[in-house]
Amino acid sequence: MISFKEAHKKVVDNKQDFGTELIPLKLAMGRVLAEEVIADRDFPPFNRATKDGIAINYESIASGQTTFKIEGVLPAGVAPKPLSNTEHAIEIMTGAVVPDNANTVVMYEHVVIENGWATLIHNPTKGQDIHRQGSDRRMGETVLESNTKITAAEIGILASVGKSTVLVKRLPRIAIISTGNELVEVGEQPLPHQIRKSNIHTLFGALSQEGIVPKEFHLVDDKEIIRKELANILYNFEVVLLSGGVSKGKYDYIPDVLEELGVEKEFHRVLQKPGKPFWFGKQPIIGTLVFSFPGNPASTFASYQVYFKDWLKCSLNLPNPTINVILEEGIPVKGDLTLLLRVRLKCTDGQLLVSQVRDNGSGDLTSLALTDGFIVLDPDQEFYEAGESVSFVPTRQLW
């Protein structure tokens, strides 16, 4: 057996680089940028009017002028033309290019326009209501760093610099495998001694949130069949997530078969609860990683969240800071196991507070609906006080 900390370190130390791929901008939400993105023009690309009104040259005001002959109208999307006379004005629309020899925009609310003449009713400031060329970013400057997670804001920036395709980190090809003869399909009516598959669906859902569409398999408790199918799966996928079959039972063939297939065990069994029988290893020739989670729902779920998600973040070079939350109640830690306790999270006046979810052990699937994440309590500390901040592994978004 291995401590939780050692196990976690071994998993993230096995981070892998799956290379990059070029994808359409439309599919880039949630992916991780694999290129530095450069401004292909100044941002904004010209002196841009930010109000609807008139563009004037401030020098004429400085010399006492308050009424301006209007030369015409300058809409957005039209090539600019200079004022024919710097004592004139031109009506200008938001988004239009301010003429080179104008330098101030006065919004309609601050002028009176009559018979082709505009009279100021408020004193403008020189340069006002112009978003200056290059004031946000200069051409050639970085607008997005590599290794950035792409959200709606980044999509807008990518669009504005012309990235109709984006270079992103490739995601691993993942197989998810259920095991156990007691399992039937979701659509079937189980016999009294059977249950429906659930872990594989939980894993499918969780991976889909990472942009990964895993391939599903089921292995019956037959060593020959397991050997044959696992050999194929190890060869065709980069990461394998198994649920069940790693305990000490007579039909728990998975660890033996994995080792027969050359998957080198990094560890089996971790001093943690739930999820003690977790098996983790790597096939060194083909590079496939195997996360073999215990079959109890809370064990599979906790292990996925605690190990796999951190491994994925590290593999994608995303930041992976520890998140701390504040205990609403004191919690004792008995024994020598690291506890992954189900908690409910609330956010009050800028504080993240957690309280324990009443649960019925690692088989209690229904309690996971009330769970926002797991807190990680170290057995080196006998008691965690109310108000103490502890490490938190979220299983649900806060907003």
Residues from 76 through 115 that contact a copy of itself (CB under 8 A): 76-80, 91, 93-97, 107-109
**Among residues 84, 119, 125, 209, which is the contact residue for a copy of itself, using CB under 8 A?**
209
CA 211 to CA 228: how far, in whole Å?
29
Compose the 23-62 pattern: x for residues touching a copy of itself by CB under 8 A, - for all others.
--xx-xxx--------x-x-xxxx-x-xxx----------
Q: How far is the CB of 242 from a copy of itself (least distance, A)?
A: 15
CA distances from 230 to 105, 203, 227, 260 (A): 70, 18, 5, 11
Report if residue 197 touches a copy of itself, rule: CB under 8 A. Answer: yes
Closest CA relative to residue 11, chosen from 291, 370, 395:
291
Sign of dihedral through CA atoms 97, 102, 104, 106?
negative
Q: How far is the CB of 284 from a copy of itself (least distance, A)?
A: 30
Contacting residues for 272 by C-beta, under 8 A, at least 6 apart: 4, 7, 278, 337, 338, 339, 340
- With respect to a copy of itself, which residue has the nearer C-beta, 125 or 232? 125
- With respect to a copy of itself, which residue has the nearer C-beta, 234 or 270? 270
Q: How far is the CB of 322 from a copy of itself (least distance, A)?
A: 9
Q: Which of residues 318-377 bind a copy of itself (CB under 8 A)?
A: 321, 323-326, 347-353, 360-369, 371
Closest CA relative to residue 42, chosen from 130, 143, 167, 126:
143
**Among residues 82, 140, 190, 330, which is the contact residue for a copy of itself, using CB under 8 A?**
190
- With respect to a copy of itself, which residue has the nearer C-beta, 60 or 300? 300
What is the SS3 assignment for 23?
Answer: strand
Q: Which of residues 115-174 bind a copy of itself (CB under 8 A)?
A: 131, 135-137, 143-144, 148, 150-164
Query: Per residue in 34-71, is it b (16+ CB within 10 Å) or e — as a string?
Result: bbebebebbbbebbbbebbbbbbbbebbeeeeeebebb
Residues contacting a copy of itself: total by CB under 8 A: 122
- With respect to a copy of itself, which residue has the nearer C-beta, 228 or 396? 396
Q: Which element (helix H / strand E) includes 258?
A: helix 254-260
Q: Which of residues 222-241 bind a copy of itself (CB under 8 A)?
A: none
**Among residues 63, 114, 193, 334, which is the contact residue for a copy of itself, using CB under 8 A?**
193
Tokens representing residue 23 in the block: 């994808």
